[in-house]
Amino acid sequence: MRLIIPVLLCAGLAQAGEFAVLASGGRLHIDRHQTEGSQITLFTSSGTIEMQADQVRGFEAEDAVAQVAPKASPDPSSSAPSQVPASPQQMADRAAAKYGLPRGLVRSVMKAESGFQPKAVSPKGAIGLMQLMPATAQNLGANAQDPEQNVDAGTRYLRDLLEKYNGALWHALAAYNAGPGAVDKYQGVPPYPETLDYVRRVEREWSRTNSGKGMD
């Protein structure tokens, strides 16, 4: 089984293009598409993605997608105290929207990684909500000790892995857990009990939350 996850491959909605509406219910931002028989090629800013025609429900013009409302300017006359820090779930949702991932998926990864505990540290030294190794966080230009940066960097890393493996969820999750080198070595999910259990836990949690209201 190869589960395909839509990844938003654009910096913003200002770029020209269209959205491929996938059978899974997600939308994938693309520059254009080409159909040849039962095969559809999606052209993105970073390359191409090939998939079977039955995996694509249709296409929508970009201007048909609702724009995100701008943030309201703060009232200078307000004497209210500073905003309450965002919860881990809110940080997950915000990062998911930023990087074009289903928010339920990011929440499920966060739950499997840290149980929504910002100060979680693994025996191997992984840090925070998305359990980033210090070297990985450094490569991503993030401070792993800062919850907001931790979640942003971890979600960006997950998005990058989904792009690397052309949307194959199990491959991306296995690479997040065991490293891309292990996935490349075995050309798929490595036969590590910890990694196999991790992939199943994330997928099971996402399936559970995806059946509830408001979780996409």
Q: What is the DSSP string of the chain?
A: ---B-----SS-TTS--EEEEETTS-EEEESEEEEETTEEEEEETTEEEEEEGGGEEEEEEGGGSPPPPPPPPP-TT--PPPPPPPPHHHHHHHHHHHHT--HHHHHHHHHHHHTT-TT-B-TT--BTTTTB-HHHHHHTT--TTSHHHHHHHHHHHHHHHHHHTTTBHHHHHHHHHH-HHHHHHHTSS---HHHHHHHHHHHHHHHHHHTSTT--
Task: Sort strands 56-61 and 39-44 into parallel, antiparallel or unpaired.
Answer: unpaired
pLDDT tens across the length of the chain (216 residues): 455 554 443 333 333 578 777 665 666 677 888 888 888 887 776 566 777 787 778 888 765 433 333 445 555 554 545 567 889 999 999 999 999 999 999 999 999 999 999 999 999 899 999 999 999 999 999 999 999 999 999 999 999 999 999 999 999 999 999 999 999 999 999 999 999 999 999 999 999 887 644 334
Residue ranges per structural domain of the chain: 18-64, 88-210
Q: Which residues are catalytic?
A: 113
Residue type, 65: V
Q: Does domain 88-210 have CATH number 1.10.1050.10?
A: no
- pTM metric for this prediction: 0.63
